[in-house]
Amino acid sequence: MLSSSTLFLLILLGLGFIAKNQAILIAVYILLGIKLLKLDDKIFPYLEAKGLFIGVVIITVAVLVPIATGEIGFNELLESIKSYYAWIALAAGMFVAYVAKDGLQLLANDPHLTAALIIGTILAVVFFQGVAVGPLIGAGIAYLAMQVVDSIIRIFS
């Protein structure tokens, strides 16, 4: 008989397949493989403690590759600041990074929300042709929305 966690992973696998979301498919394959090899008692605690940090490092490395290859340099930076689109992109990048910081805190304090964020991401990919940007920014946006709702409730209480 399948454990509820394995069943849940298989459901996520199915949704990932429907959504054609490679990141979720690969993540579920890895987790199911760890469970199948019975390494979960050793590996899951480490992944739970350090996984988000490792993921942020990998994403940061990927974002910095164009700088490391010389594709983006000081000339491109100076050219870009002449465009108001660049200023909008700069502000958006700052906002997303700021919001994601709170998402990291939310996922660390309330990991049960991760499932809802992943399901929401998959549903948006399947039904609205969205792009899966990951639970971290979703958590950041959720955290920001929760703060707004809490503030409104305090005002009207």
Please give the DSSP secondary-structure letter assigned to residue 82. Answer: T
pLDDT 10s digits, 103-126: 777 777 777 787 788 778 778 877
Mean pLDDT of 13-20: 85
* Exposure class string for 42-66: b at 16+ Cβ within 10 A, else e: eeeeeeeeeebeeeeeeeeeeeeee
Instruction: Specify the pTM.
Output: 0.66
pLDDT 10s digits, 44-99: 999 988 887 888 889 889 989 999 999 989 888 888 888 888 888 888 888 888 88
Return the domain boundaries, the chain.
74-157
Nearest-angstrom CA–CA distance, 10 and 28: 8
Closest CA to 104 of 154, 46, 54: 54
**Tokens linked to 30:** 């890895």
**Tokens linked to 104:** 């990291």
